[in-house]
Chains A and B, each alone.
Chain A
Amino acid sequence: MSFRYTLAGRLLRDPLAVLGLSIIVLLVLSALFADHLSPHAYAELNIANRFASPSLEHWLGTDNLGRDTLSRVLQGGRIALLVGILSVVIAGGIGLLLGTLAGFGPRWLDNTILFLFDTMRAYPTIILALALATLMPRGLSTVIIVVVLTSFSEYGRVARTQTQSLREHEFIAAERALGASSIRIILRHILPNILGPFFILVAINLPVVITIEAGMSFLGVGVPPGTPSWGSTLKDGFDHIRTTPWLILGGGIPLILVTIGFTFLGEALRDVLDPKLRGER
């Protein structure tokens, strides 16, 4: 379809979007092929070679157990992307559903859902993470549940406000007057109109989610010990920051890159997806 072509074409004309996309593509590729790219097995211990400086053998040195940092960072990309994408999809789906229902439905439903959103937003992410971590077994699923619980209300709020402003538009009344049902109006007319702002939010939120995972692992309530998450690499680096700064760099730089990549992409998407801006650039 020519529309899709122009969308992609316009996205690729923005240098920042290209930069963001390249970073994301590189990350995704390195995560997918982590097993082949890693010079060593990520769990391979070598106690004799602890805290080794970067060398040809270990590009980013080794950690306190003599494990190859580069291999662990590459593997960490998998966890980061898995947690990020899964929790954004789940939280986004819940938020979209509840948000459109709240925006389109009767007032009592709106108030109920809004109360839920407010309640969930009242919990600071890390506090909720610490609380839940004591109740649930440590693991990826706990991390995902925490992220979903703390972030779905944000998607929900965006979906709700967008729906509310849309339902006042004349074209919704016009569709009704031409015989469309409520479900049809939501699916065919509300959803396509709110997906633009929604995707922008998703793109900008993905690095936040990845940072939450890293943060939880850093605090020791995230993935189980031994799992090569960026957060645990950072934690190891933090413990030995005076002697081995490369561990901090190994865990930190990918986080920075992810954030930059998705933020650039999100901003470029905002410019392209807004139909009012179409054709102006």
Chain B
Amino acid sequence: MSDILRQDELVYVAPTEAPPPRRPPALMVGPLGWLRANLFSSRTNTLLTIITLLIVGWLLVSTGLWALRDAEWTVITSNLRLLLVGQYEPSQLWRVNLLALALLFLCGISISLWAKVTRAVLLTLIVVVLVMIVIPLGAGQLPPPSIRFIVPPDSEPAPLVFVGNAGEPVSVLVEPISSADATAASPVFVGFIENTAGLSNSRSIWNDVKAKAASGALDLSQYDLAFTIKLVDTAGETIASAEATPENPRVRLDAALPADGWYGVIAEKTDGSAGYAWVRLDGVQTFTTQSGDEAERIERYGLIPDTICPVGVRCRQVAERDLRFEGSRNLATYLSVQLVPFLNAVILPVIVGALIALGGSWLGYEVKRRNSVVKKTVSRWVVLAWVALLPVSWFVLRGIEGAATLPVVPTATWGGLLLTLVLTAVAIVLSFPLGVLLALGRWSNLSVVSGACTLFIEVVRGVPLITILFFAKLVVPFFLSASADVDQVIRMMIGLTLFTAAYIAEIVRGGLQIVPHGQIEAAHALGLNALYTTRLIVLPQALRAVIPAIMSQFVSLFKDTTLVSVVGLFELLGIIDFIVNGQQQYRGLQREAYLFVGVIYFVISFGMSTVSRWIEATGVGAARR
């Protein structure tokens, strides 16, 4: 303490022993400190935090609730094949699968050879696959949701038809139209609502019932219908029946289905009294849980027989797609109906794919551990494989004329994600050398060459891509001799390639300008001619400098493939647009469709950007030995 007094004077000497270290005040560090510094450091900051929390919270919660409760994801799950490969000949899909597996294998081995596979990445992969296996297994134990349909007082309800398999237990219950929490204004139910009045969707039915209840035309506590409930098989024979009367409103039918095929539930009224009744059908698997495709269903079970659904009667099929319903959808139902079928459909490919990728990865890891000669040879083979992948894929996908094992699958049938990826890959591979050539041409001293290249680049960059694509589609055939009938897809590839090449040329030009002029002078002084200088000195430096910009242009190209949908091709966006706007049963599901597609694009795009940032960080030029 005496030391402090002495600091008033000119001279001070500290004690030899350093004072003990002290921790900062509590509010500075740790989670509290972080909160205070980052979120609540001043009045405006606190206000901002609160407002942002409210807005973002509301957005997230309402979107989440919509996605889980109200959204109909069958538009995706039922059309998975269309979305992934378009109308590619189904019997030849093994070729696409083969290529996909080869790609995964190459990815796995490349990552192992040339990068560090962190434990976090592996762990995430394993966890994801496990989750995808466990959920269907668990949800498989959940009972299928109930189907409810209304028996109205003023008309005969049409038969409810469904598909069943031998041995499946089915029960039919008749119950009054109420539940514990219901009031006249807001009856509540859980489950699916069938379309009873021919109304366009169940929201209208529901509104109808609610309106009638509110106006008093529907007395929820009254039940005075008398009708017979019958379960009939494909031949029209009654398997089980029960009679519901006003005195005995609750009846139950239990049956085990004798064989695979169509069945119907028919309600025949014995008198026309007022009131409503619910009929609840349990144990029926919706189509979404069995198979996704109408074509598959028809193939397996045939068409709806006349015996159950007479000609001219508009029968109700149990869930060609999930119908919307009101009230709360519990998580179990959601899982079993929406998610599980999707997972069931994709789990096998995912597992196989993951195994192959891991296998390749393991192989790469083993090779890396061996001596460098083996590593160099294998590296060279892998690079060759990547280079050969594109032309080989083209021939495998397209097929060769006259080949028995690889019949031609016309590119007009390609669609979905397959088409998107093919367009992107081809455009990337072709536009890069073309772009570099254009840039070198623009940069050269020869005025004719430079002028021509500049003209091409500026014109192509000045017009929107869609104009170029239309131009490619319409005008390219005119430029080639009349006998050449160029594929639509190839025309699009030409358009995309030319467009991207112009942008790449601009980017590379920037890189060429960055190379210090002294480098070129030194090269010339050493006696290297123009060709060598460019190839050995200028280009490597220029390209290395602009790799991030080039990668971002490729990501842009991937997103721009969506424009071919405006020109009439059915890549990923085009095909979902067709499904949602073209097919009656999926009308009104735009939000689900575009959101899903948007998420796919986002994931791939974001992934590509991350990879490019990773390449940039690790310095690919040096690593490419």
* A-B complex is real: no
Binding site for B on A (CB under 8 A): none
